[in-house]
Amino acid sequence: MVTLLATVLIHIARAALLVFGVTVLVFILVRAIPGDAVDVLAIEGGLTDSQAEAMRAGLGLTASWLDQFTAWCLSALRGELGESLRFHVPVADLLLQAIPVTLALGAASLATGFVLAVAIALIATLRPRSIVASLVDILNIWSIAIPTFCAGLVAILVFSLWLGWLPVLGNFLVPVIILGLDAAGQIVKPLHEEMKELGTAVYIRTARAKGLHPLKIVIGHILPAAAPVLLAMTGLVAASFIGGALTMEVLFGLPGVGSLAFNAVNGRDYPLIQAVVLFLAVAVILINALTDLAQRLVDPRPER
């Protein structure tokens, strides 16, 4: 019990340090970019120099970086993420509006990739000489060689501009398909390799000798044994979707966290950038923690 508690505390401390480190790094990087929110507003609204300086003082941008960072951290610890410098509304409200879109896109894409990968791996294991077995390598090469951002640009060019079948802005289907194919390519190869290796196990050969149907063997014996690999790859893909979903949102004009981050960077909206980064860091850490927990539940054997 003491060992388990110590392990949990170590994981929490490590996660907190990681979030803090990412927050510090982003805080420095965004302020290293020339210009600030007042400069952006000045370009858009024609502020005079005196008005710009007064606005900077009112927004707290004239304070030192250390004072700004300390003030932001203290507010974040109280659950207050500040007010958007550009939109003049609470940052938390903007995040709450954007998060459901990102979660819906990520969940739909991951579910698509998961189902596709499992189905192809099952058929390829049952029919190793069929054309479906070739899809394992094709999808894997697709996920490695084709960035989702490039696939999104090609989809816009072909289906929206050339053929006119789909709208560019607000399109949800195409991003789900692109991200789903990318997820399937990352999951299907390790899963298929694991299932092939399990197919040579003694208990599987015994099941075949008893005359069990191949489909029953694959679904009832091989796939459950491959669950740890499936969960591990699904967790990795879910964490990587944080980046992939954001680029798709920007490309297709979906009002999610990605579009929010893009607008925040363009507008030098420091509180909004910091809040988005905090959300993304916590999301990745939470996904990894849940994946690790699920693996331990499925395969409770101690790590060697």
Q: Is the pLDDT of residue 2 over 60?
A: no
pLDDT at position 304 is: 40
Q: Specify whether the CB–CB gap between 183 and 114 falls below 8 A.
A: yes
- Which CATH number characterizes residue 268's domain? 1.10.3720.10
Percent of the chain with pLDDT strictly greater than 70: 83
Q: The whole model's pTM is what?
A: 0.78
Q: Which helix (H) or strand (E) holds 84?
A: none
Q: Which two tokens stand for residue 54?
A: 């007064």
Q: Answer whether residue 271 is part of any domain.
A: yes
pLDDT at position 59 is: 62
Same domain, 286 and 215: yes
Same domain, 258 and 130: yes
Same domain, 51 and 109: no
Output phi, psi for 13, to 5 deg.
-65, -40
Q: Answer whether residue 92 is part of any domain.
A: no
Return the amino acid letter for 191.
Answer: L
Q: Answer whether residue 275 is part of any domain.
A: yes
Same domain, 70 and 105: no
Q: Answer whether residue 174 is part of any domain.
A: yes
Same domain, 142 and 229: yes
Domain, as residue range, for 164:
101-298
Same domain, 66 and 120: no
pLDDT at position 226 is: 84
Q: Answer whether residue 94 is part of any domain.
A: no
Same domain, 40 and 73: yes
Residue burial 172-195, b: 16+ Cβ < 10 Å; e: rest: eebbbbbbbbbbbbbbbbbbbebb
